[in-house]
Amino acid sequence: MKTLQPDFYARPVLQVARELIGCTVEHAGCAGVIVEAEAYHDSEPACHAFVGLTPRTRTLFGEPGRAYVYRSYGIHALLNAVCEPEGVGAAVLIRALAPVAGIEQMRARRGREGDLCSGPGKLTQALGISLSQNGSSLTSGPIAIRARARDLLDPAILEAPRVGITRAVELPWRFCLAGSQHVSRPRPAAVASAAGSHAASAG
């Protein structure tokens, strides 16, 4: 799978967010398939870039294809992919992954057997991503995002309102892989129903 190039990200953030579903994030020997992502744009108040250019938001207004990593609630580092042309503040928050490589290392970092990447703070802990990667290239690394695997070239994607925010809550800018048990909670109803059916059939 080829690493996504900057021109992939230099497009409308909603388009990029949808097309990141099924792509693979790699870092420090671990990898996971993106099953959930949220779009943010400087035109709406839930985006950090809404306040304009500041030392914190400088990365958001920079080159597309960069990692925007920030600390949430003083605890978790969250991974975002900067999108749209330089000068526009926009990014996609990577909210959840389906682990595919380095799972034992993920378990060691998370200190648990399961529920490794079903949330934006969980996945950065599992992959060893930290604030030091803020502003780094998602093409040359150390974090890389690769194109969709062959079996996920046309995934079924559900749209829903974003979660964990208090402003612009009505925008349906959350994108989830239908039926994935790795999507973060609260899951959209259709995802939760399909994931529950999958778990029941697997049992």
User: With contact defined as beta carbons under 8 Å apart, do 36 and 177 qualify?
Assistant: yes
Q: Is 161 inside a domain boundary?
A: no
**What pLDDT shows up at residue 152?**
87
**CATH number, domain with residue 95:** 3.10.300.10
Residues linked to residue 99 through DSSP beta bridges, in sequence order? 32
142: cis peptide before it, omega within 30°?
yes
Residues 108-128: pLDDT tens digits?
999 999 999 999 999 999 999
The verdict on residue 49 lying in a domain is yes
Percent of the chain with pLDDT over 70: 93
CB contact at 8 A, 41 and 117: no
Domain, as residue range, for 123 = 6-154
pLDDT of residue 201: 37
180 domain residue, yes or no = no
83 belongs to a structural domain: yes
pLDDT of residue 189: 76
Residue 184 counted as domain residue: no
Mean pLDDT of 55-64: 97
What's the pLDDT band for 199 if we cut at 50, 70, 90?
A: very low
Confidence class for position 191, pLDDT limits 50, 70, 90: low
In a domain, 41, yes or no: yes
Higher pLDDT, 47 or 197: 47
Q: Is residue 192 scored above 70 in pLDDT?
A: no
DSSP 3: B
Q: 139 lies in a domain?
A: yes
Q: How far apart are CA 133 and CA 37, in angstroms?
A: 19
User: Which pLDDT does position 75 carry in this prediction?
Assistant: 81
- What pLDDT score does 196 carry? 54
Backbone angles phi, psi at 192, to 5 degrees: -60, -40
Higher pLDDT, 147 or 75: 147
The pair phi, psi for residue 13, each rounded to 5°, is: -60, -35
Q: How many domains does one find in the chain?
A: 1
